[in-house]
Structure formats: C-alpha cells, structure tokens
Amino acid sequence: MHSNEFLSVSSEVAQALASNRPVVALESTIISHGMPYPQNVETALAVESAVRENGAVPATVAVIGGKLKAGLCAEEIEYLGKTGTRITKASRRDLAYLVSHGADGATTVASTMIIAAMAGIKIFATGGVGGVHRGAETTMDISADLEELAKTPVAVICAGAKSILDLGLTLEYLETKGVPVIGYGTDELPAFYTRKSGYKVDYRVDSEKELAQIISCNELPGAGGILITNPIPPEYSMDPERINAAIDAAVAESRALGIKGKETTPFLLAKVKELTGGDSLVSNIRLVLNNAGLAARTACEYCALKNKEEQICQGQ
C-alpha cells in the first residue's frame, strides 16, 4: 500500500490487505451514473454481497469529501445513489481538482484502478470498460480507461467493452498499448450484453487459478494492467439483433444532439435501456454480479498463491 495523505482505506479492507486476505475493488460510477435510484444502491450492495459470498472483501471506491476512499460504508453508497448524476463522474483528470476542493466523485474504471493500486488492491470487478467510441477516427473520443490499463498494474474483470463502442478499434488500441486481453472460458471478446462479438481475445483461460498465476506474474517493473473478459451468463444474454438495433439508434440520436465526451456513455446506456424496455438494465445487473463472483474467486486464488510463495521463502 502507498502511504498518501489523500487516501482513506476502510478498516476492514486495510486489515484484509495487511493479512493477505482477498480484496476486490469495485467502481462507483455505476452507482451514480449507471442506473436509477434505488436500483443503483440495491445493485451496489448486491455486488458487495456477491464478493463476500465468493470469499473476498469488497472495496467500493469513490471520492468522498476530497478523500480517495477504498471501502465505503452502506451510508456512503446510499449517498452516491441518491445524489446520482449530480456527483462528478471522476476519471484520472478529475482527481486532483476534487481532492483539492474537498469534493465528491464517483470513480470510473480509470480512477478506480488508480485508487485500487494506491491501496494495494490487485483485482477490480466492473461491468464493462470504456474504449474507442464509434467515429473516433474523426472525434478522437477514446476512453481514459484504455490509457489507465496501459500503465496501472490492476487486473480488470469485466464483460468486455461496452457494445456501444467500436470493439475492433478498442482491441487495436489495447494491442498498441501492450494490454493483454484474456477471455475467461472464451476465445471471443464478449460484447457486454451478448456473449460474442466476432473478435478474438489474445488468450483464453479456463480457471481462476490460472488467472491468479497470470496476475502474479504481471509484477515486472513498468507493468500495466490486464483486461479479463467474462461473458454474461447465457440466460441473461440479449438477442444480438435487438440490442445492436437499439445501440445504433442510440448512437444516431447522440450524434444528432451533439452529445460528446464523458456524457456520451451515460446517455447511450440510458437510451438503450429505454429502447429495450428495461431489459438491458437487467442484463447489466446480472453481468456485474457475475464479474464480482469471478473476481472474488480469482482474488482468493491469488492470495493462496502469494501465501504459498511466502511460506516457501520462509523455508516452511
């Protein structure tokens, strides 16, 4: 763990890290910007429960009162959910401003990775990562999540890149940045709401133990992150034609309205939810729970591996 006057780690998370017990970081943008109240709070608490049920300690991350927090209490999660989009959506560029002003921020994938790394948390579960937006060859709209994956050594477990993005260009960008894309039980990149995208991942892995071994070996100087993609459970996967039609319509409307930057993803997700009669939100919740379970089991394997290495070093 990095000592930092701006970092606040909950006692439960700090104790778990100090005793090499498994911890999983969780983002907070999904609470404030990802879905409406009270579903956002219910989902956040359910995700924390899924982490616990699979043997790890959850560390939901946010900026509260200018503190970079790893591990929120139920009241803080309720606050983020009720305040909703009035909370700043905080990526890397926002952290210094929010801390200096004693302000609040709901963390994206990028800023959650930063705070997790500061706290010493190696594994982070989310829904989907940001990526290269459609039309980025002219707009240059590329998520800071990809840059963070290139330089911050945290393993991000997700259901692929959000299917509102250009998945092919997102994979090309990750390759350029040296970020390995691993498929858990799949050779194909999942597309968030659906299990398939038509694009291949770099490597397929079929067990949590193997994921833990890769994470453990990703500790060379200058190592960046690892993107682990976990397909949505089959029973919650949406019909590709239906979801893609909704996404195309949402993208067209966002362009017509001139929506850009960090407002793009929340608008598109809300529009897709509207166009699918709420079915996309149900799928979103289920895939996040699925990722939290995999992240917790992987964290357990990672800690077991580290404990074994320590015993060997001590000659036990």
Give the start-to-end residue ranges of the domains of the chain.
7-311
Is the pLDDT at 106 greater than 90? The verdict is yes
Percent of the chain clearing pLDDT 70 (strictly above): 97
Reported as a pLDDT band with limits 50, 70 and 90, residue 310 is confident
**Per-residue model confidence (pLDDT) at position 2:** 54
Distance in angstroms (rounded) separating the CA atoms of residues 277 and 259: 22
- CATH architecture observed for domain 7-311: 3-Layer(aba) Sandwich (3.40)
What pLDDT, in 10s, does the model give residues 226-257?
999 999 999 999 888 888 888 888 878 888 88
**Per-residue model confidence (pLDDT) at position 89:** 94
The pTM is what? 0.91
Q: What is the DSSP string of the chain?
A: ----TTEEE-HHHHHHHHTT--EEEE-SHHHHTSS-TTHHHHHHHHHHHHHHHTT-EEEEEEEETTEEEES--HHHHHHHHHHGGGSEEE-GGGHHHHHHTT--EEE-HHHHHHHHHHHT--EEE-S-B--BBTTHHHH--B-HHHHHHHHS--EEEESSB-TTB-HHHHHHHHHHTT--EEEES-SB--BTTBS--S-B-SEEE--HHHHHHHHHH--STT---EEEE-PPPGGGPPPHHHHHHHHHHHHHHHHHHT--GGGHHHHHHHHHHHHTTTHHHHHHHHHHHHHHHHHHHHHHHHHHHHHHHHHHHTT-
Residues recognised as catalytic: 27, 162
What pLDDT, in 10s, does the model give residues 33-88?
888 899 999 999 999 999 999 999 999 999 999 999 999 999 999 999 999 999 99
Reported as a pLDDT band with limits 50, 70 and 90, residue 316 is low
